[in-house]
Amino acid sequence: MTTQSPITSDSETSAWKYRLAAWCLIVIGIAVRVRVYLGNRSLERDEAALAYNIIHRGFFGLFKQLDNDQAAPVGFLLVQKMVVCLLGPGEHALRLFPLLASIAGLVVFWFLCRRILTPRAAVIALAVIALSAKQFFYASQTKQYSTDVLVAVAMLLLTHGWVWDRATEPLSRRRRAVLACGGAAAVWFSHPAIFILGGIAAVGAWEYFQSADRRTKDFAIVMGAWAFSFALNYIFVLHRLSHHPFMQTFWSAAGAFAPFPKSPGALIWYKKNLFEIFEDPLSLAFAGLAALAYAMGLVAWWRGKKSLPAVMVAPILFALAASILHKFPFKSRMILFLTPLLAAGVGTGIDLLCSAPAPQRYGGVLALVFLLISPFTTALDYARHPPQLHEMRDALAFVAAHNQPGDVYYVYPFCAYAFNYYQPRFGLAAAAPIVGTSNLADWNAWEKELSPLAGHRVWIFFEDPSDHDGVNDEQMALRILSGMGREVCRDEPFGEFVACYDLRH
Which band of pLDDT confidence, cut at 50, 70 and 90, is reported for residue 163? confident
Are residues 397 and 380 part of one domain? Answer: no
| 323-379 confidence digits (pLDDT tens) | 999 999 999 999 999 999 999 999 999 999 998 888 878 888 999 999 999 999 999
**Structural domain includes residue 82:** yes
Helix (H, G, I), strand (E, B) or coil at 471: strand
Q: Average pLDDT, stretch 217-236? A: 91
Say whether pLDDT at 4 is over 60. Answer: no
The total domain count for the chain is: 2
* Confidence (pLDDT) at 13: 67
CA–CA dist 146, 461 (Å, integer): 31
Q: How confident is the model at residue 469 (pLDDT cuts 50, 70, 90)?
A: confident
- The 10s digit of each residue's pLDDT in 21-76 is 999 999 999 999 999 999 999 999 999 999 999 999 999 999 999 999 999 999 99
Q: Is the peptide bond before 413 cis (omega within 30 degrees of 0)?
A: no
CB atoms inside a 10 Å sphere around CB 328: 25
Instruction: Give yes or no: residues 209 and 240 share one domain.
Output: yes
CA-CA-CA-CA torsion for 163, 166, 167, 173, nearest 10 degrees? 20
| DSSP-derived pairing of the beta strands 408-411 and 457-462 | parallel
Q: Give per-residue pLDDT as tens, 65-115.
A: 999 999 999 999 999 999 999 999 999 999 999 999 999 999 999 999 999
Q: How far apart are the C-alpha atoms of 335 and 192, rounded to whole Å?
A: 8
Q: Where are the alpha helices (DSSP H) in 70-192?
A: 74-87, 91-116, 119-130, 133-138, 145-159, 173-189
Q: DSSP string covering 24-74, please?
A: HHHHHHHHHHHHHHHH-PPP-HHHHHHHHHHHHS-TGGGGSPPSTT----H
- The number of C-alpha atoms within 13 Å of 59 and in the hemisphere containing its C-beta is 6
Q: Domain range holding 149?
A: 6-384
The model's pTM is 0.94
Q: Do 293 and 198 fall within a single domain?
A: yes
pLDDT of 290-335, one tens digit each?
A: 999 999 999 999 988 788 999 999 999 999 999 999 999 999 999 9
Whether 1 is in a domain gets the answer no
Residue at a domain's end among 384, 401, 428: 384
Averaged pLDDT, 393-403: 96
Residue 2 has pLDDT above 50, yes or no: no
Domain match, 317 and 426 both:
no
Q: Are residues 324 and 456 in the same domain?
A: no
Q: Are residues 362 and 400 in the same domain?
A: no
pLDDT higher than 70, residue 215:
no
Same domain, 213 and 308: yes
Q: Measured over all CA atoms, what is the biggest interatomic distance in the chain, rounded to whole angstroms?
A: 100
What pLDDT score does 1 carry? 39
Residue 21 per-residue DSSP state = H
Residues 293 and 409 in one domain: no
Q: Are 186 and 141 in contact (CB under 8 A)?
A: no
Supply the pLDDT for residue 3. Answer: 41
Confidence of residue 7 (pLDDT cuts 50, 70, 90): very low
